Each structure stands twice: as C-alpha cells, then as structure tokens.
C-alpha cells in the first residue's frame, strides 16, 4: 500500500475513544483520511485525546458523541459528520459491549442492551452511512467488527456471540445490496485482543498465560493488529473484496487438535 492512500477520504469510526476503535481512527488518519471519532456520553475526554493525537500528528479529526443504539443519535452523527467534513467514504462499525454474564443470571435488560449496541447499532449506522454514499455516487466501504465469536460460542457471552454472528451476516447481505453502488461490505473477526472489554477477564491470575498457550503465534492480539486490516479493507487494493470476513486471531480458531 502506498502512503496516504486514503487522502481525500472521510471515515466514521464508531466507538473510537478507546481500544480497537481508537487504533483504527489513528491508522486511517495516518493513511490520510479525515476521521470522525465517535464516542458515547461520558467519554468526551478520551475522544478529545484521540482527536488531539491525530491533529498533533498532522491529521484531521472531529469527535462526535452518539449512542449507536439510538437511531436518532446516529442520524444526527452522520449529518454532523457531513456538516464538518463534507462527505463520507468509510464507515467502521466498531462500537461494541460484552459484559461477561453467567447464563442463569442473564436479564432481559442486559440481553437487549447488547443487541441494541452491537447489532442494531451496526444496522442504524450502516443504513445512514450507505444512504450518503449512494447519493454521492462514488462508492464506499463498510467495515464491521464481528469476532471469532461469530464462529464459536462463549459461556459468558450468550448475549454477545449472536450479535457478532449477526454482524457478519448483515455484511454478507449488504454486500449484495450495496455492491451495485460500489460500496463494499466486509467483516473483521478479531480473536483475543487485550482491551477494556476483556480486561477484568485477563486480570484473573494466570489467564493471559493460559489463553496465550492456545494461540499459535504465542501472544494476544493488539488493537494495531486489527487497525492494519481495516486500513487494507478501506484501501483501493481491497476494492474487489465484498461480503468477506477476515479472521485475525493468530491462529486461535484452527488450533483445535
Ligand atoms: P473497548 O471496550 O476497548 O472499546 C469499545 C468501544 O465502544 C469504546 O470506545 C466504547 O466507548 C464504545 N462504545 C460502547 N458502547 C457504545 C455506544 N453505545 N455507542 C458508541 N460507542 C460505544 O473494546 P474493544 O475490544 O476495542 O472492542 C471494539 C470492538 O471489537 C467491539 O465491537 C468488540 O466486540 C470487537 N471485538 C473485540 C475483541 C477483543 O478481544 N477485544 C475480539 C473480537 C471483537
Ligand atoms: C470477543 C472475543 C474475545 C473476547 C471479547 C470480549 O469477541 O470473544 O475473545 O475477549 O469478545
């Protein structure tokens, strides 16, 4: 990939105040894209830090607050993005939550919130963004954070794994609907990436060593491991990849025997 291959592009990255989303926002900005750093209420400082870092490195970014689980806030985010940055070329559906919960303790409220943020949020953002991309008439990219959890279960993730399978499936269907407009839709399936979402789990004594032992490359993933793949899918080199998913897990999934 040539440097600054995303110059003149505008990207919206949901849940970009921390973790994988933050690394994605920074990487897309390094590639020349102007970036919307979406964040939920309460993460203003973290989002400002991401924007300042990008601007300090010579890039361009703006923070926009929106709960992706709220369609009205999502519409408002996309309108505000267009007002500030003029266009939209890349949507990264990254925002997600996974409160680890035992099945017999699972409440309807927790179940619904996880569906609302992870899957319904991806629907709201994808529809709003693709309408803009369609009207621009210059194609686009929708890249969604699914998970290895789309392929395997998780005992404390019974609410979460269906959302990740759903996101992957949504990208497959949207690839058909939006391909004719030059808008490609793909998923990334990260394995175990150490971030806030699983910090309490990995803080348990011996847990990192135990899980790392199952990963052939011998380490947990980092947000940067995922950001590079997003940059590739956003690039011209990936223009014929549509409806695909890329497992980025260091070989964890295939290590069954
Ligand atoms: P994280 O907790 O560090 O980041 C999640 C981000 O989503 C945060 O910036 C948070 O503010 C944002 N967010 C949460 N609710 C939101 C809402 N309602 N509206 C807008 N933003 C919201 O976790 P992460 O690991 O960086 O997760 C990012 C994505 O990657 C998630 O979709 C997650 O499911 C997926 N993923 C993570 C892993 C992993 O091992 N960390 C593996 C597979 C997939
Ligand atoms: C992911 C996957 C990871 C887990 C996070 C919370 O999709 O299951 O292993 O750490 O969710």
Residue with token string 């058909």: 176
CA-nearest residue for atom 32, ligand 1, is: 96
Facing residues of 221 across strands?
Answer: 193
**Of the residues 128, 195, 201, which should be mutated to test ligand 1's pocket, given the most ligand atoms within 8 Å of the CB?**
195
Which parts of the chain sit beneath pLDDT 70?
Answer: 1-3
Expressed in angstroms and rounded, the spacing between residue 57 Cα and the centre of ligand 1 is: 24
Contacts of 12 (CB under 8 A, 6+ apart): 35, 36, 38, 77, 78, 81, 88, 90, 91, 92, 125, 129
Tell me what pLDDT residue 4 has.
84
Ligand nearest, relative to CA of residue 215: 2
Kindly give the distance from the C-alpha atom of residue 98 to the centroid of ligand 2, in angstroms, as a whole number.
Answer: 8
Binding site membership of 154 for ligand 2 (Cβ less than 6 Å): yes
Ligand 1, atom nearest to 18 Cα = 9
Predicted model pTM = 0.98
Tell me how far apart the alpha carbons of residues 36 and 65 are, in angstroms, rounded to a whole number: 10
Strand pairing partners for 140? 183
Structural domains of the chain, ranges and CATH numbers in brackets: 10-248 (3.40.50.720)
């Amino acid at each position: 990939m040539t440097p600054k291959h995303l110059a003149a592009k505008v990207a919206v990255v949901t849940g970009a105040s921390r973790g994988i989303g933050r690394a994605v926002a920074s990487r897309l900005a390094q590639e020349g894209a102007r970036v919307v750093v979406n964040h939920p209420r309460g993460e203003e400082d973290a989002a400002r830090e991401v924007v300042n870092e990008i601007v300090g490195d010579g890039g361009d970014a703006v923070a926009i607050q929106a709960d992706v689980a709220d369609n009205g806030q999502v519409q408002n985010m996309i309108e505000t993005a267009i007002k500030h940055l003029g266009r939209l070329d890349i949507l990264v559906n990254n925002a997600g939550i996974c409160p680890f919960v035992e099945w017999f303790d699972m409440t309807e409220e927790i179940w619904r919130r996880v569906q609302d943020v992870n899957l319904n949020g991806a629907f709201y953002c994808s529809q709003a963004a693709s309408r803009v991309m369609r009207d621009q008439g210059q194609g686009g990219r929708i890249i969604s954070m699914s998970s290895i959890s789309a392929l395997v279960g998780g005992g404390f993730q019974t609410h979460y794994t269906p959302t990740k399978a759903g996101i992957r499936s949504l990208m497959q269907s949207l690839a058909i609907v939006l391909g004719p407009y030059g808008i490609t839709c793909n998923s990334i399936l990260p394995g175990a990436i150490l971030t806030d979402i699983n910090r309490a789990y990995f803080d348990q004594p011996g847990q990192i060593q135990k899980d790392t032992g199952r990963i052939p490359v011998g380490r947990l993933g980092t947000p940067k491991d995922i950001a590079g793949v997003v940059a590739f899918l956003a690039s011209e080199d990936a223009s014929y990849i549509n409806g695909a998913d890329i497992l980025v897990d260091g070989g964890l999934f295939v290590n069954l025997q």
